[in-house]
Structure 1
Amino acid sequence: MNQEKIWDYFQNNPEIGSLAFNADARYRFIANKIVSGSDVLNIGVGKGGLELMLLDKRVNVYCLDPNKESIRKIQEEFGLAERAKFGYAQAIPFDDSSFDVVVMSEVLEHLSDEVLNKTVKECHRVLRKGGRFIGTVPADEVLLESRVVCPDCGKVFHRWGHLQEFSEQRLRQLLERQFDRCVISRHYFGNWQTLNWKGKISWLLKKICVFLGIRGSSENFFFSAWKKQ
Protein backbone atom coordinates (compact mmCIF):
# COMPACT_ATOMS: atom_id res chain seq x y z
CA MET A 1 0.00 0.00 0.00
CA ASN A 2 1.32 3.41 -0.98
CA GLN A 3 0.54 5.56 2.08
CA GLU A 4 1.83 8.69 0.37
CA LYS A 5 -0.84 8.50 -2.34
CA ILE A 6 -3.55 8.18 0.30
CA TRP A 7 -2.42 11.24 2.22
CA ASP A 8 -1.68 13.34 -0.82
CA TYR A 9 -5.32 12.84 -1.76
CA PHE A 10 -6.79 13.64 1.65
CA GLN A 11 -4.41 16.46 2.64
CA ASN A 12 -4.42 18.36 -0.64
CA ASN A 13 -7.96 17.87 -1.93
CA PRO A 14 -9.88 21.00 -0.82
CA GLU A 15 -13.24 19.19 -0.68
CA ILE A 16 -12.35 15.78 0.74
CA GLY A 17 -9.66 17.13 3.04
CA SER A 18 -12.11 19.23 5.03
CA LEU A 19 -14.07 16.07 5.83
CA ALA A 20 -11.11 13.82 6.53
CA PHE A 21 -9.50 16.23 9.00
CA ASN A 22 -12.53 17.30 11.00
CA ALA A 23 -10.43 16.87 14.14
CA ASP A 24 -10.78 20.12 16.05
CA ALA A 25 -11.86 18.44 19.29
CA ARG A 26 -8.84 16.15 19.25
CA TYR A 27 -6.50 19.01 18.36
CA ARG A 28 -7.89 21.19 21.16
CA PHE A 29 -7.37 18.38 23.66
CA ILE A 30 -3.75 18.00 22.58
CA ALA A 31 -3.10 21.75 22.46
CA ASN A 32 -4.33 22.05 26.05
CA LYS A 33 -1.55 19.67 27.12
CA ILE A 34 1.16 22.01 25.81
CA VAL A 35 2.32 25.20 27.53
CA SER A 36 3.18 28.47 25.82
CA GLY A 37 6.83 28.92 24.90
CA SER A 38 7.49 25.20 24.44
CA ASP A 39 9.46 23.92 21.45
CA VAL A 40 7.10 21.40 19.85
CA LEU A 41 7.48 19.09 16.86
CA ASN A 42 4.25 17.86 15.27
CA ILE A 43 4.73 14.85 12.99
CA GLY A 44 1.93 14.43 10.45
CA VAL A 45 0.43 17.84 9.71
CA GLY A 46 -2.89 16.95 8.09
CA LYS A 47 -4.19 20.34 7.00
CA GLY A 48 -2.43 22.31 9.74
CA GLY A 49 -5.22 22.45 12.31
CA LEU A 50 -3.02 21.63 15.30
CA GLU A 51 -0.27 23.96 14.11
CA LEU A 52 -2.73 26.85 14.00
CA MET A 53 -3.94 26.21 17.56
CA LEU A 54 -0.40 25.95 18.90
CA LEU A 55 0.69 29.14 17.17
CA ASP A 56 -2.26 30.92 18.78
CA LYS A 57 -0.89 29.75 22.15
CA ARG A 58 2.54 31.16 21.29
CA VAL A 59 4.11 27.73 21.11
CA ASN A 60 7.31 27.44 19.04
CA VAL A 61 5.95 25.10 16.38
CA TYR A 62 7.99 22.81 14.16
CA CYS A 63 6.48 20.18 11.90
CA LEU A 64 7.37 17.21 9.74
CA ASP A 65 5.40 15.46 7.03
CA PRO A 66 6.19 13.11 4.09
CA ASN A 67 3.99 15.16 1.75
CA LYS A 68 5.91 18.01 0.08
CA GLU A 69 2.80 19.91 -0.97
CA SER A 70 1.40 19.89 2.58
CA ILE A 71 4.71 21.16 3.96
CA ARG A 72 4.86 23.89 1.30
CA LYS A 73 1.39 25.11 2.33
CA ILE A 74 2.31 25.10 6.03
CA GLN A 75 5.51 27.03 5.29
CA GLU A 76 3.68 29.68 3.31
CA GLU A 77 0.45 30.04 5.29
CA PHE A 78 1.95 29.95 8.79
CA GLY A 79 5.36 31.51 8.14
CA LEU A 80 7.25 28.36 9.10
CA ALA A 81 9.75 28.35 6.24
CA GLU A 82 12.62 27.03 8.40
CA ARG A 83 10.56 25.05 10.89
CA ALA A 84 8.36 22.93 8.60
CA LYS A 85 10.29 20.13 6.92
CA PHE A 86 9.61 17.36 4.47
CA GLY A 87 10.71 14.00 5.83
CA TYR A 88 9.86 10.79 7.63
CA ALA A 89 9.31 9.94 11.28
CA GLN A 90 11.81 7.07 11.18
CA ALA A 91 14.56 9.55 10.21
CA ILE A 92 13.63 12.88 11.79
CA PRO A 93 15.71 15.71 10.23
CA PHE A 94 16.27 17.58 13.50
CA ASP A 95 19.14 17.44 15.99
CA ASP A 96 19.25 15.46 19.22
CA SER A 97 17.50 17.05 22.23
CA SER A 98 15.75 19.73 20.16
CA PHE A 99 12.21 19.66 21.58
CA ASP A 100 10.19 19.81 24.77
CA VAL A 101 7.31 17.90 23.18
CA VAL A 102 6.90 15.65 20.13
CA VAL A 103 3.32 15.06 18.92
CA MET A 104 2.03 12.24 16.73
CA SER A 105 -1.76 12.19 16.57
CA GLU A 106 -3.40 9.44 14.49
CA VAL A 107 -0.10 8.56 12.81
CA LEU A 108 1.44 5.52 14.52
CA GLU A 109 -1.31 3.21 13.24
CA HIS A 110 -0.18 3.92 9.66
CA LEU A 111 3.36 2.58 10.14
CA SER A 112 4.80 -0.87 9.47
CA ASP A 113 6.39 -2.74 12.38
CA GLU A 114 9.93 -1.77 11.35
CA VAL A 115 9.09 1.89 10.78
CA LEU A 116 7.05 2.04 14.00
CA ASN A 117 9.95 0.90 16.17
CA LYS A 118 12.41 3.27 14.45
CA THR A 119 9.94 6.14 14.84
CA VAL A 120 9.60 5.73 18.59
CA LYS A 121 13.41 5.69 18.91
CA GLU A 122 13.68 8.85 16.82
CA CYS A 123 11.06 10.66 18.90
CA HIS A 124 13.05 9.77 22.00
CA ARG A 125 16.28 11.03 20.37
CA VAL A 126 15.00 14.51 19.46
CA LEU A 127 13.40 15.14 22.87
CA ARG A 128 15.21 16.95 25.64
CA LYS A 129 15.61 15.31 29.02
CA GLY A 130 12.26 15.37 30.76
CA GLY A 131 10.51 15.96 27.41
CA ARG A 132 7.25 14.29 26.43
CA PHE A 133 6.12 12.22 23.48
CA ILE A 134 2.34 12.66 23.22
CA GLY A 135 -0.36 11.70 20.75
CA THR A 136 -3.34 9.52 19.93
CA VAL A 137 -4.11 6.23 18.23
CA PRO A 138 -7.42 4.42 17.59
CA ALA A 139 -8.38 2.41 20.68
CA ASP A 140 -8.76 -1.36 20.24
CA GLU A 141 -9.38 -1.06 16.51
CA VAL A 142 -9.99 -4.29 14.58
CA LEU A 143 -8.33 -3.75 11.21
CA LEU A 144 -10.42 -6.40 9.47
CA GLU A 145 -13.60 -4.43 10.12
CA SER A 146 -12.43 -1.54 7.91
CA ARG A 147 -11.01 -3.48 5.00
CA VAL A 148 -12.34 -2.68 1.54
CA VAL A 149 -11.60 -3.95 -1.95
CA CYS A 150 -10.71 -1.90 -5.00
CA PRO A 151 -13.37 -2.59 -7.67
CA ASP A 152 -10.79 -2.09 -10.44
CA CYS A 153 -7.74 -4.09 -9.37
CA GLY A 154 -9.18 -6.26 -6.60
CA LYS A 155 -6.60 -5.15 -4.02
CA VAL A 156 -7.81 -5.42 -0.42
CA PHE A 157 -6.74 -2.61 1.93
CA HIS A 158 -7.73 -0.70 5.06
CA ARG A 159 -9.89 2.25 4.04
CA TRP A 160 -7.64 4.72 5.94
CA GLY A 161 -4.37 2.90 5.37
CA HIS A 162 -4.01 1.60 8.93
CA LEU A 163 -1.41 -1.12 9.48
CA GLN A 164 -1.43 -1.35 13.29
CA GLU A 165 -4.07 -2.00 15.91
CA PHE A 166 -3.41 -0.99 19.51
CA SER A 167 -4.70 -2.31 22.78
CA GLU A 168 -3.67 -0.30 25.84
CA GLN A 169 -1.21 -3.05 26.75
CA ARG A 170 0.45 -3.11 23.33
CA LEU A 171 0.74 0.68 23.20
CA ARG A 172 2.29 0.74 26.66
CA GLN A 173 4.80 -1.97 25.76
CA LEU A 174 5.82 -0.06 22.63
CA LEU A 175 6.41 3.20 24.49
CA GLU A 176 8.13 1.70 27.53
CA ARG A 177 10.84 0.19 25.35
CA GLN A 178 12.25 3.71 24.98
CA PHE A 179 10.61 5.96 27.55
CA ASP A 180 10.96 6.11 31.30
CA ARG A 181 7.26 6.48 32.09
CA CYS A 182 3.98 6.61 30.19
CA VAL A 183 0.34 7.38 30.94
CA ILE A 184 -2.48 6.23 28.67
CA SER A 185 -6.14 7.29 28.81
CA ARG A 186 -9.19 6.50 26.71
CA HIS A 187 -11.28 9.25 25.05
CA TYR A 188 -13.99 10.02 22.55
CA PHE A 189 -13.23 13.12 20.44
CA GLY A 190 -16.41 13.62 18.44
CA ASN A 191 -16.85 17.19 17.20
CA TRP A 192 -19.84 18.67 19.04
CA GLN A 193 -19.99 21.81 16.88
CA THR A 194 -20.68 19.94 13.64
CA LEU A 195 -23.55 17.76 14.95
CA ASN A 196 -27.33 18.14 14.74
CA TRP A 197 -29.44 17.58 17.86
CA LYS A 198 -29.57 13.80 17.38
CA GLY A 199 -25.83 13.69 16.92
CA LYS A 200 -25.32 15.77 20.05
CA ILE A 201 -27.40 13.33 22.10
CA SER A 202 -25.28 10.46 20.77
CA TRP A 203 -22.12 12.46 21.52
CA LEU A 204 -23.22 13.02 25.11
CA LEU A 205 -24.12 9.36 25.64
CA LYS A 206 -20.78 8.32 24.15
CA LYS A 207 -18.91 10.65 26.52
CA ILE A 208 -20.81 9.24 29.50
CA CYS A 209 -20.02 5.66 28.46
CA VAL A 210 -16.30 6.39 28.14
CA PHE A 211 -16.32 8.11 31.54
CA LEU A 212 -17.97 5.04 33.07
CA GLY A 213 -15.46 2.70 31.43
CA ILE A 214 -17.92 1.24 28.93
CA ARG A 215 -15.88 0.64 25.79
CA GLY A 216 -17.14 1.28 22.29
CA SER A 217 -16.02 2.04 18.76
CA SER A 218 -14.51 5.28 17.38
CA GLU A 219 -12.56 5.91 20.56
CA ASN A 220 -8.91 6.83 20.99
CA PHE A 221 -6.03 6.31 23.37
CA PHE A 222 -4.17 9.47 24.36
CA PHE A 223 -0.61 8.76 25.45
CA SER A 224 2.07 10.74 27.25
CA ALA A 225 5.55 9.23 27.51
CA TRP A 226 8.41 10.96 29.36
CA LYS A 227 12.11 10.90 28.55
CA LYS A 228 14.18 10.40 31.68
CA GLN A 229 15.56 13.54 33.32
Structure 2
Amino acid sequence: MSKNYERKSPEQIIRLDGKNVFLEVMNSAFEISKVLINFQEYDATKEKGNRVKQNISIYFDMDKFLVLGNDLLSGRLSALATKAKEEAFKLQTENKKKGVDRKVYAKEIYLDQGGTSSARLEQKGKSRPDGKSEARLMKITPGEKMPWMISAELGPGEESETGLIMPRFVNNRPEKQIRVPISNEDFKRLILIVTKHIEAFLASKYVNNEFKHKKEEPQLISQEESEDKPL
Protein backbone atom coordinates (compact mmCIF):
# COMPACT_ATOMS: atom_id res chain seq x y z
CA MET A 1 0.00 0.00 0.00
CA SER A 2 1.39 3.38 -1.00
CA LYS A 3 1.95 6.02 1.61
CA ASN A 4 0.37 9.44 1.38
CA TYR A 5 2.54 12.46 2.10
CA GLU A 6 0.00 15.17 1.27
CA ARG A 7 -0.99 17.64 3.96
CA LYS A 8 -3.77 16.06 5.95
CA SER A 9 -6.70 17.53 7.80
CA PRO A 10 -6.14 18.01 11.56
CA GLU A 11 -9.15 15.72 12.06
CA GLN A 12 -7.58 12.90 10.03
CA ILE A 13 -6.20 10.05 12.14
CA ILE A 14 -4.93 7.81 9.36
CA ARG A 15 -5.21 7.45 5.60
CA LEU A 16 -4.63 4.30 3.56
CA ASP A 17 -4.19 4.50 -0.21
CA GLY A 18 -4.82 2.10 -3.05
CA LYS A 19 -4.69 2.71 -6.80
CA ASN A 20 -6.77 5.87 -7.35
CA VAL A 21 -8.68 5.19 -4.12
CA PHE A 22 -8.18 5.82 -0.43
CA LEU A 23 -9.92 5.68 2.89
CA GLU A 24 -9.33 8.05 5.77
CA VAL A 25 -10.44 7.77 9.38
CA MET A 26 -11.49 11.02 11.07
CA ASN A 27 -12.06 12.05 14.69
CA SER A 28 -14.66 14.69 13.75
CA ALA A 29 -17.61 12.49 14.78
CA PHE A 30 -16.24 11.34 18.14
CA GLU A 31 -18.60 13.72 19.93
CA ILE A 32 -21.57 11.71 18.67
CA SER A 33 -19.81 8.42 19.47
CA LYS A 34 -19.05 7.69 15.82
CA VAL A 35 -15.89 6.93 13.87
CA LEU A 36 -16.10 8.68 10.49
CA ILE A 37 -14.51 6.76 7.61
CA ASN A 38 -14.35 8.58 4.28
CA PHE A 39 -13.87 6.58 1.08
CA GLN A 40 -12.85 8.35 -2.11
CA GLU A 41 -12.09 7.44 -5.71
CA TYR A 42 -10.22 9.95 -7.85
CA ASP A 43 -8.67 10.47 -11.27
CA ALA A 44 -5.01 11.43 -10.86
CA THR A 45 -4.83 12.64 -14.48
CA LYS A 46 -7.25 15.48 -13.79
CA GLU A 47 -6.27 18.89 -12.47
CA LYS A 48 -6.31 19.46 -8.72
CA GLY A 49 -9.77 20.40 -7.51
CA ASN A 50 -11.40 18.29 -10.21
CA ARG A 51 -10.03 14.84 -9.44
CA VAL A 52 -12.77 13.36 -7.26
CA LYS A 53 -14.91 10.77 -9.07
CA GLN A 54 -17.00 9.63 -6.10
CA ASN A 55 -16.92 9.55 -2.31
CA ILE A 56 -18.85 7.81 0.45
CA SER A 57 -18.86 8.61 4.16
CA ILE A 58 -19.47 5.86 6.72
CA TYR A 59 -20.41 6.73 10.31
CA PHE A 60 -19.27 3.72 12.32
CA ASP A 61 -20.41 3.24 15.94
CA MET A 62 -17.47 3.74 18.28
CA ASP A 63 -18.21 0.63 20.35
CA LYS A 64 -18.58 -1.48 17.20
CA PHE A 65 -15.18 -0.25 16.01
CA LEU A 66 -13.56 -1.38 19.27
CA VAL A 67 -15.15 -4.83 18.93
CA LEU A 68 -13.99 -5.03 15.30
CA GLY A 69 -10.46 -4.18 16.41
CA ASN A 70 -10.53 -6.94 19.00
CA ASP A 71 -11.77 -9.40 16.36
CA LEU A 72 -8.88 -8.51 14.05
CA LEU A 73 -6.14 -8.61 16.67
CA SER A 74 -7.46 -11.85 18.21
CA GLY A 75 -7.35 -13.61 14.84
CA ARG A 76 -11.12 -14.05 14.60
CA LEU A 77 -11.38 -12.11 11.32
CA SER A 78 -8.53 -14.12 9.80
CA ALA A 79 -10.29 -17.35 10.73
CA LEU A 80 -13.52 -16.11 9.13
CA ALA A 81 -11.58 -15.05 6.02
CA THR A 82 -10.00 -18.50 5.69
CA LYS A 83 -13.41 -20.15 6.00
CA ALA A 84 -14.94 -17.79 3.40
CA LYS A 85 -12.14 -18.57 0.92
CA GLU A 86 -12.56 -22.31 1.47
CA GLU A 87 -16.29 -22.07 0.84
CA ALA A 88 -15.69 -20.05 -2.34
CA PHE A 89 -13.16 -22.60 -3.62
CA LYS A 90 -15.55 -25.47 -2.82
CA LEU A 91 -18.38 -23.79 -4.72
CA GLN A 92 -16.12 -23.07 -7.68
CA THR A 93 -15.02 -26.73 -7.77
CA GLU A 94 -18.66 -27.90 -7.72
CA ASN A 95 -19.52 -25.48 -10.53
CA LYS A 96 -16.69 -26.82 -12.69
CA LYS A 97 -18.08 -30.33 -12.32
CA LYS A 98 -21.37 -28.95 -13.66
CA GLY A 99 -19.59 -27.34 -16.60
CA VAL A 100 -19.65 -23.81 -15.19
CA ASP A 101 -16.11 -22.42 -15.30
CA ARG A 102 -16.47 -19.11 -13.53
CA LYS A 103 -14.45 -17.49 -10.76
CA VAL A 104 -16.20 -17.54 -7.37
CA TYR A 105 -15.09 -14.85 -4.94
CA ALA A 106 -15.25 -15.09 -1.17
CA LYS A 107 -18.21 -13.36 0.47
CA GLU A 108 -17.84 -10.53 2.95
CA ILE A 109 -17.08 -11.56 6.52
CA TYR A 110 -18.18 -8.27 8.07
CA LEU A 111 -21.06 -5.93 7.24
CA ASP A 112 -22.10 -2.64 8.83
CA GLN A 113 -25.39 -1.07 7.74
CA GLY A 114 -26.35 2.55 8.13
CA GLY A 115 -27.67 5.49 6.21
CA THR A 116 -30.02 8.45 6.32
CA SER A 117 -33.81 8.34 6.34
CA SER A 118 -35.83 10.10 3.64
CA ALA A 119 -37.26 12.44 6.31
CA ARG A 120 -33.79 13.43 7.49
CA LEU A 121 -32.60 13.95 3.91
CA GLU A 122 -35.57 16.24 3.31
CA GLN A 123 -34.77 18.24 6.45
CA LYS A 124 -31.21 18.74 5.18
CA GLY A 125 -32.43 19.70 1.71
CA LYS A 126 -30.74 16.64 0.20
CA SER A 127 -33.69 14.48 -0.79
CA ARG A 128 -33.05 11.78 -3.36
CA PRO A 129 -34.84 12.09 -6.73
CA ASP A 130 -36.68 8.82 -6.00
CA GLY A 131 -37.71 10.03 -2.53
CA LYS A 132 -36.15 7.01 -0.84
CA SER A 133 -33.85 6.81 2.14
CA GLU A 134 -30.10 6.55 1.50
CA ALA A 135 -28.42 3.29 2.54
CA ARG A 136 -24.70 3.10 3.23
CA LEU A 137 -22.82 -0.15 3.79
CA MET A 138 -19.26 -0.98 4.81
CA LYS A 139 -17.96 -4.47 4.05
CA ILE A 140 -14.78 -6.35 4.86
CA THR A 141 -13.96 -9.13 2.41
CA PRO A 142 -10.97 -11.45 1.98
CA GLY A 143 -8.95 -10.05 -0.92
CA GLU A 144 -7.33 -11.72 -3.90
CA LYS A 145 -4.01 -9.88 -4.31
CA MET A 146 -4.15 -8.25 -0.89
CA PRO A 147 -5.36 -9.92 2.33
CA TRP A 148 -8.25 -7.52 2.84
CA MET A 149 -10.72 -5.48 0.81
CA ILE A 150 -12.61 -2.78 2.69
CA SER A 151 -15.46 -1.37 0.65
CA ALA A 152 -18.21 1.21 0.97
CA GLU A 153 -21.52 1.13 -0.91
CA LEU A 154 -24.30 3.67 -1.30
CA GLY A 155 -27.73 3.50 -2.85
CA PRO A 156 -31.49 3.65 -2.27
CA GLY A 157 -32.79 2.33 1.03
CA GLU A 158 -35.88 1.90 3.13
CA GLU A 159 -36.31 2.68 6.82
CA SER A 160 -37.41 -0.26 8.94
CA GLU A 161 -39.72 -0.10 11.95
CA THR A 162 -36.65 0.00 14.21
CA GLY A 163 -35.09 2.90 12.29
CA LEU A 164 -32.46 0.83 10.47
CA ILE A 165 -31.93 1.81 6.83
CA MET A 166 -32.21 -1.34 4.73
CA PRO A 167 -30.59 -1.34 1.27
CA ARG A 168 -32.96 -1.55 -1.69
CA PHE A 169 -30.41 -1.54 -4.50
CA VAL A 170 -31.70 -2.02 -8.04
CA ASN A 171 -30.62 -5.49 -9.21
CA ASN A 172 -28.55 -5.65 -5.99
CA ARG A 173 -26.15 -3.09 -7.44
CA PRO A 174 -25.24 0.01 -5.41
CA GLU A 175 -25.19 3.42 -7.07
CA LYS A 176 -21.72 4.00 -5.68
CA GLN A 177 -19.05 1.52 -4.64
CA ILE A 178 -15.46 2.16 -3.56
CA ARG A 179 -13.05 -0.66 -2.72
CA VAL A 180 -9.74 -0.14 -0.93
CA PRO A 181 -7.34 -3.13 -0.74
CA ILE A 182 -5.15 -3.19 2.36
CA SER A 183 -2.45 -5.39 3.86
CA ASN A 184 -2.55 -7.13 7.22
CA GLU A 185 0.01 -4.69 8.58
CA ASP A 186 -1.96 -1.63 7.46
CA PHE A 187 -5.22 -3.04 8.81
CA LYS A 188 -3.62 -3.58 12.22
CA ARG A 189 -2.02 -0.15 12.05
CA LEU A 190 -5.41 1.43 11.36
CA ILE A 191 -7.09 -0.46 14.21
CA LEU A 192 -4.37 0.29 16.76
CA ILE A 193 -3.96 4.00 16.06
CA VAL A 194 -7.69 4.71 15.90
CA THR A 195 -8.27 2.73 19.11
CA LYS A 196 -5.63 4.86 20.87
CA HIS A 197 -7.37 8.03 19.68
CA ILE A 198 -10.73 6.74 20.96
CA GLU A 199 -9.18 5.89 24.34
CA ALA A 200 -7.59 9.34 24.56
CA PHE A 201 -10.90 11.00 23.68
CA LEU A 202 -12.80 9.05 26.34
CA ALA A 203 -10.07 9.69 28.92
CA SER A 204 -10.31 13.44 28.27
CA LYS A 205 -14.05 13.25 28.89
CA TYR A 206 -13.46 11.74 32.32
CA VAL A 207 -10.67 14.20 33.14
CA ASN A 208 -13.03 17.06 32.33
CA ASN A 209 -15.88 15.43 34.29
CA GLU A 210 -18.08 15.43 31.19
CA PHE A 211 -19.58 12.07 32.12
CA LYS A 212 -20.51 13.24 35.63
CA HIS A 213 -24.19 14.01 36.05
CA LYS A 214 -25.24 16.67 38.50
CA LYS A 215 -27.41 15.22 41.19
CA GLU A 216 -29.98 17.19 43.09
CA GLU A 217 -29.12 17.51 46.75
CA PRO A 218 -31.69 15.81 48.98
CA GLN A 219 -33.89 18.17 50.93
CA LEU A 220 -33.22 17.95 54.66
CA ILE A 221 -36.18 17.88 56.99
CA SER A 222 -35.70 19.47 60.38
CA GLN A 223 -36.40 17.48 63.51
CA GLU A 224 -39.34 19.75 64.33
CA GLU A 225 -40.92 19.21 60.90
CA SER A 226 -40.52 15.47 61.12
CA GLU A 227 -42.14 15.40 64.53
CA ASP A 228 -45.12 17.42 63.26
CA LYS A 229 -45.80 14.96 60.38
CA PRO A 230 -48.36 12.25 61.16
CA LEU A 231 -47.14 8.66 61.13
TM-score range, shorter chain: under 0.3
Report the structure number with the largest CA radius of gyration.
2
Q: Which structure dedicates a bigger proportion of its chain to helix? A: 1
**Greater RCO (Cα-Cα under 8 Å, separation 6 or more):** 1
TM-score of the superposition, structure 1-length normalised? 0.21
Q: Which structure dedicates a bigger proportion of its chain to strand? A: 2
